[in-house]
Chains A and B, each alone.
Chain A
Amino acid sequence: MNWNWFYRMGSPRWFYETTSRWLPWLGALTFILLVGGLVWGLAFAPQDAKQGNSFRIIYLHVPASFLALAGYFLMAAAGAIGLIWKMKLSYMVMKCAAPLGAVLTFLALFTGAVWGKPTWGSYWVWDARVTSMLILLFLYLGVLALQYAFNSKDVGNKASAILALVGTVNIPIIYKSVDWWFTLHQPATITFTQAPSMHPAMFQPLLVMILGFYCFYAVALILSVRVEILARERKTSWVRERVKQAAQNSLGATL
C-alpha cells in the first residue's frame, strides 16, 4: 500500500498548482448556486403559513449553522492529520478553517436572532439550538486565541490542533446536555430519518442554498490556504518565480 499519493497530495506546491486550475470553475459554480438559491428562496418559494415571510431567513440560517458545525469537525480532522502524519498542509487548512468557521457561526447566530424577533418576540431566546451554537462560537474563539498565543508557529498549530480535538469530543456532550435541558426550539426541520416537515417547494431552494454554502466554504478555505502556502513557502524557488511573474504582470498593466 504505497502512501506516496497521500504525501504527494500533502505537498503545498501540488495543492497550490491543482487549485489554481479548477478554483475559478468552483467559484463560478458557487456564485450560481448562491444567487440562484437565494432568489428562488426569497422570491419564488411559498411563504410559511404561521411565520409568513420571515421564515425565508431559513435559507441563510440553516446552511450557516450546518457549515458552522461541519467546519469545526473539518478543522479538528485537519488538526488530527497534522498531528499524526506531521503534514504542514493540514495544519494550514486547520489554521484557515478556524476564522472561517467562527464567522459562519456568528452568521448563524445573527440570522437566528433576526429570525427570532418576529417569530418568538425577542432577539435572544435561551433555547437548545441557539445556546449550543453560542458555545460552538466560544470553542472557535478558544482555538483561534490559542493559535496566535504562541510565538513559535509549530507549537501554536499543535496546541490548537489538540484543543480542537478536545472540542470535538465535547461537542456531542454539549449538544446533548443543552438539548436535554432546554428543549424549546422547533425540532430540526431536516432530519434525514423522517421526511422533511416542509413543503417541497420551500425545501428545494434550501437544498440548493446548503450546496451553495458548502461550495462557498470550499472556495473561501482554499483561497486562504493558498495565501498561507505562499507565506510559509516564501523561500522556495517556485514561490519566488510566481512573485516575479506577478510583479511583471502588474508592471505590464501599469505601463
Chain B
Amino acid sequence: MVAEPSLLSVKDLCFERDDTQVIDSVCLDLSDGELLQIEGPNGSGKTTLLRLLTSALTPTRGNIYYQGRTLSDCRFEYLSELLFLGHQSAVKVTLSAEENLSWMTGRSRTCEELLSALDSVELTGYSDVPCYRLSAGQQRRVALAQLLISNAKLWILDEPFAALDSQGVSLVEQCMQKHLDGGGSVVLSTHQPVSIKAVRRYSLMDQSIREQFNNDL
C-alpha cells in the first residue's frame, strides 16, 4: 500500500520579489500530529514562507501539495481545514470580543463554547466590551481564543508568542500540544524555544531539519 501522502508537502518552492530571491527552493514535509518550527533571523523570509503556505501569496516556482493534491485542485477543502494567525490579530475594534470570536470561528454568538474560550484566555469580564477598550495583548488573546475552539486540522501561526506574557505563552503551548495529540498539525515561526514533546525545526538559512525531543514534558 503506497504510503499515505503527508498532510502538507512543499516541492522546491521559490518566491521572487522585485528580482530578489526571497524563498529559494524550499522542500518540506508535514504529516499529521507534527509540529514544524520555521527558524531564521529577521528578514530571512519566515513570514513570506508562511503566507505562501496559506496560499495568500502565489509562488514563482514549485508548488504545495495538500494530501497529495496541489493546492489549486483542492483550494476550498484546504482553506476550510486551515487556521492562520498572523502578526495582526484581525480583531475589529468596534465589535465586542464575543462578536469578533464568533465571526472568526463562524459559530453563533450565543453558544457556550465562545464564553468558555474567552474565560480560559482571561477575558471573562470583557466578552461584550468593544475591543478598542482592550489592550493590544488582550486583543491578541481574543485571536488566540480561536485555538481553543477551532476544529481546523492545520494551524499556521506567525510569531504566536509575540506580546504575550509567560502565562499566555504556556496557554498557547498547551493548546498546541492538545491539538497535536488530537492528530492536528502546526507550522509556526518563532524565536523562542517551544516546549512541545516533538519539534521538527527547519532553518531557512541552511535549509536543514533537526528533530528535537523534550522528553521531560
Q: Which of A86, A154, A235 contacts B18 (CB 8 A)?
A: A154
Are the CB atoms of A232 and B19 closer together than 8 Å?
A: yes
User: From A156, which residue of chain B is reached at the shortest CB distance?
Assistant: B18
- Chain A, residues 123-163, CB within 8 Å of chain B (1/0): the string is 00000000000000000000000000000111000000000
- Chain B, residues 1-41, CB within 8 Å of chain A (1/0): the string is 00000000000000001110000000000000000000000
**Chain B residues with CB below 8 A from A153, complex form:** 18
**Chain B residues with CB below 8 A from A232, complex form:** 19
CA distance A86 to B60 in the complex (A): 9
**Chain B residues with CB below 8 A from A86, complex form:** 60
Are the CB atoms of B17 and A152 closer together than 8 Å?
A: yes
The A77-113 residues at the B interface (CB cut-off 8 A) are: 86
Indicate the size class of the contact surface on chain B: under 10
Indicate the size class of the contact surface on chain A: under 10
Tell me, rounded to whole Å, the shortest Cβ–Cβ distance linking A157 to chain B. 10
**Chain A residues with CB below 8 A from B17, complex form:** 152, 154
Tell me, rounded to whole Å, the shortest Cβ–Cβ distance linking A89 to chain B. 13
**Chain B residues with CB below 8 A from A154, complex form:** 17-18
**Chain A residues with CB below 8 A from B18, complex form:** 152-154
CA distance A154 to B18 in the complex (A): 6
CA distance A110 to B18 in the complex (A): 38
CA distance A159 to B49 in the complex (A): 23
- Chain A, residues 219-255, CB within 8 Å of chain B (1/0): the string is 0000000000000100100000000000000000000
Tell me, rounded to whole Å, the shortest Cβ–Cβ distance linking A16 to chain B. 16
Tell me, rounded to whole Å, the shortest Cβ–Cβ distance linking B20 to chain A. 10
CA distance A86 to B59 in the complex (A): 12
Tell me, rounded to whole Å, the shortest Cβ–Cβ distance linking B212 to chain A. 36
CA distance A232 to B60 in the complex (A): 18
User: From B60, which residue of chain A is reached at the shortest CB distance?
Assistant: A86
- Chain B, residues 53-89, CB within 8 Å of chain A (1/0): the string is 0000000100000000000000000000000000000
Tell me, rounded to whole Å, the shortest Cβ–Cβ distance linking B43 to chain A. 15
CA distance A232 to B20 in the complex (A): 11
CA distance A135 to B17 in the complex (A): 34
The A204-218 residues at the B interface (CB cut-off 8 A) are: none
CA distance A152 to B19 in the complex (A): 10
Tell me, rounded to whole Å, the shortest Cβ–Cβ distance linking B177 to chain A. 39
CA distance A175 to B202 in the complex (A): 58
**Chain A residues with CB below 8 A from B60, complex form:** 86
CA distance A235 to B18 in the complex (A): 13
**Chain B residues with CB below 8 A from A235, complex form:** 19
User: From A151, which residue of chain B is reached at the shortest CB distance?
Assistant: B18
Tell me, rounded to whole Å, the shortest Cβ–Cβ distance linking A118 to chain B. 51
CA distance A232 to B19 in the complex (A): 8
User: From B16, which residue of chain A is reached at the shortest CB distance?
Assistant: A154
CA distance A86 to B17 in the complex (A): 13
User: From A88, which residue of chain B is reached at the shortest CB distance?
Assistant: B19
CA distance A131 to B19 in the complex (A): 41
CA distance A219 to B18 in the complex (A): 27
User: From A233, which residue of chain B is reached at the shortest CB distance?
Assistant: B19
Interface CB pairs A-B, < 8 A, 8: A86-B60, A152-B17, A152-B18, A153-B18, A154-B17, A154-B18, A232-B19, A235-B19
Which 8 pairs, one residue from A and one from B, show the smallest C-beta to C-beta distance? A153-B18, A152-B18, A154-B18, A152-B17, A154-B17, A232-B19, A235-B19, A86-B60
Interface positions of A (Cβ within 8 A of B): 86, 152-154, 232, 235
Given contacts A153-B18, A154-B18, A235-B19, 5 further A-B contacts (CB under 8 A): A86-B60, A152-B17, A152-B18, A154-B17, A232-B19
